[in-house]
Amino acid sequence: MSPEAQAERHPFAYWTYRSLSAAIQAVPEPLVGGVAAVSGFTMSELWKKKRPVIRSNFRRVVGPEMSESDLERLVVESFDWYARYWVESARLVSLRPADVFKRFSIEGFTRVEEEMARHRGVILALPHFGFWDLGGLWLTLKGYPMTTVVEPLEPPALFEWFRSQREALGLTIHPLGPGAPGQLMKALRAGRLVGLVADRDLAGTGVDVEFFGEVTKLPGGPAVLAIRTGAPLFPSIVYQARGGKGHGVIRPPLEIERTGDLRADVARVTRMLAAEFEELIRRAPEQWHMFQPNWPSDREKFGQ
């Protein structure tokens, strides 16, 4: 079935996203901040049922020392930052290269350049955080277009539209599924850069790790790819700033020892990645777009 036919079967979601995206792109630059603020408030009101989940996630990050009032402020801010992410992401396709370079800064990228100068593939592992799309566009403009995997959306026409939006930024998108690992390995062996969001186990086949004080599952894909291809694995993050700006941080590559026991090696590397994510997320927890239960006790508590 063609994307157009699929859209006809699910018109509301498809045309809502497309219409909102077009409207946001038409907003004059001085009004973008106000649109994002209103969108964040609206989102927080419509998603009130998500607040206990977000509050529980953030409590793990900030620990018991933070007061309930300050924690609630973080929850409210998280909606604001999430709305800003969507508003600013919709506008990326209209940015000139000079604007992108002006808005984005990064630390630790020299290590990536050195690896890719040797015609080696590189893996950047990130959490659902901040403004990673801006980082992806910046990489494209620097000559390092990213290959990644995303969760399929329903209807399929909506997924294809989202993919076209990301591909307009220079990203190569593969849907999460049985064929994705092979595509990523192919990209790495061709000396390309692979970016993977890896703080939530979407496939249900992840690795048990301690993450912010409780054991949960994180995807083992980044570790598997690094072990099988020899590509360095860099923990990374993109922090968002007001005005459509972002700052990337790329940590040193994880030390990957191959013992011959793939399962044990993947578990060890994924635990190391979880520890890196903890440190990076704690710097600005309100920008962590984790609006779902991510630990077994929370999934049981909130019934999701």
- Angle, vertex CA 45, rays to CA 42 and CA 51, nearest 5: 125
| Beta-carbon contacts of residue 6 (< 8 Å; ≥ 6 apart) | 14, 155, 156, 157
Partners of 147 in beta bridges: 172, 194
Report the C-alpha gap between 223 and 233 in whole angstroms: 8
Contact in structure between 169 and 133 (CB atoms under 8 Å)? yes
* Residue 304 located in a structural domain: no
- Angle, vertex CA 222, rays to CA 116 and CA 210, nearest 5: 135
pLDDT at 196: 96
pLDDT at 8: 46
* Residue 302 located in a structural domain: no
Please say whether the dihedral angle defined by the alpha carbons of residues 26, 31, 37 and 42, taken in this order, is positive or negative.
Answer: negative
* Residue 180 located in a structural domain: yes
Report the C-alpha gap between 196 and 106 in whole angstroms: 18
Q: Of the candidates 85, 86, 84, 78, which has an alpha carbon nearest to the alpha carbon of residue 52?
A: 78
Report the C-alpha gap between 120 and 18 in whole angstroms: 37
* Residue 234 located in a structural domain: yes
pLDDT at 2: 42
* Residue 301 located in a structural domain: no
Report the C-alpha gap between 81 and 215 in whole angstroms: 27
Total domain count for the chain? 1
Contact in structure between 150 and 289 (CB atoms under 8 Å)? no
Contact in structure between 291 and 50 (CB atoms under 8 Å)? yes
pLDDT at 20: 63
pLDDT at 5: 45
* Residue 303 located in a structural domain: no
pLDDT at 41: 79
pLDDT by residue, tens only, the chain of 304 residues: 444 444 445 455 555 555 566 666 666 777 777 877 888 878 888 889 999 999 999 999 999 999 999 999 999 999 999 999 988 988 898 899 999 999 999 999 999 999 999 999 999 999 999 999 999 999 999 999 999 998 876 777 777 877 888 888 899 999 888 899 999 999 999 999 999 999 999 877 899 999 999 999 999 999 999 999 999 999 999 999 999 999 999 999 999 989 999 999 999 999 999 999 999 999 999 999 999 999 999 999 997 6
| N-term to C-term CA, the chain | 31
- Backbone torsion region of residue 219, taken as left when φ is above 0, otherwise alpha when ψ lies between -120 and 50, otherwise beta: beta
* Residue 300 located in a structural domain: no
**Residue-wise DSSP of the chain:** --HHHHHHHSHHHHHHHHHHHHHHHTS-GGGHHHHHHHHHHHHHHHTGGGHHHHHHHHHHHH-TTS-HHHHHHHHHHHHHHHHHHHHHHHTGGG--HHHHHHHEEEESHHHHHHHHHTT--EEEEE-SBTTHHHHHHHHHHTT--EEEEE---SSHHHHHHHHHHHHTTT-EEEESSTTHHHHHHHHHHTT-EEEEE-SS-SSS--EEEEETTEEEEE--HHHHHHHHH---EEEEEEEEETTTEEEEEEPPPP-----S-HHHHHHHHHHHHHHHHHHHHHT-GGGB---S--SHHHHHHHT-
* Residue 59 located in a structural domain: yes
The whole domain housing 278 covers 3-295
